[in-house]
């Protein structure tokens, strides 16, 4: 009985070398037909899902590129605003180092006196 069971199981699903179920011939076993039809349905579904995924990706690709460009522009604008704010507070580095003015405490900073001395920051 065990030998006939093995032979019957082999005739249900006849696989080729790639592991796929081979097409059925003139007088197929009903289980082989079901297995082959199921395999074909799964392959068709996989192809449809793959095509739909590819179409969806192609629709999203331009939008992703636009979003990436927008993020890049925003980052550049933010960087420029940070640089502008830093230059407004600390002075523009292109103007050179800010001078340090030394004068007596009793003298007003608004008065320009020849006794005051100016030292560049780089000398400190």
pLDDT, tens only, 24-59: 888 888 999 999 999 999 999 999 999 999 999 888
pLDDT, tens only, 80-111: 999 988 888 877 777 776 677 777 888 776 65
CA dist., res. 14 & res. 33, Å (int):
10
List 21's β-bridge partners, or say none.
15
User: Does residue 122 share a domain with residue 101?
Assistant: yes
Q: Provide the residue range defining the domain that includes 40.
A: 2-90
CA dist., res. 35 & res. 107, Å (int):
102
User: Does residue 20 share a domain with residue 77?
Assistant: yes
User: Does residue 72 share a domain with residue 18?
Assistant: yes
Would you say residue 8 has pLDDT above 80? no
**By C-alpha distance, which of 26, 35, 38, 32 is closest to 12?**
32
User: Does residue 121 share a domain with residue 61?
Assistant: no
CB 113 within 8 A of CB 103: yes
Residue with tokens 């019957």: 8
Higher pLDDT, 92 or 117: 92
**pTM for the whole thing?**
0.42
User: Does residue 112 share a domain with residue 74?
Assistant: no
């Amino acid at each position: 009985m065990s030998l006939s069971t093995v032979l019957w199981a082999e005739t249900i699903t006849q696989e080729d070398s790639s592991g796929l179920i081979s097409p059925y011939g003139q007088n197929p076993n009903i289980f082989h037909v079901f297995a082959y039809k199921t395999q074909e349905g799964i392959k068709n579904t996989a192809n449809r899902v793959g095509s739909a995924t590819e179409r969806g990706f192609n629709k999203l690709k331009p939008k992703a590129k636009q979003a990436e460009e927008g993020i890049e522009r925003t980052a550049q604008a933010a960087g420029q605003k940070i640089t502008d704010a830093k230059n407004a507070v600390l002075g523009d580095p292109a103007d050179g180092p800010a001078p340090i003015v030394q004068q007596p405490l009793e003298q007003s900073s608004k008065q320009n006196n020849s006794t005051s001395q100016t030292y560049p920051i780089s000398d400190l």
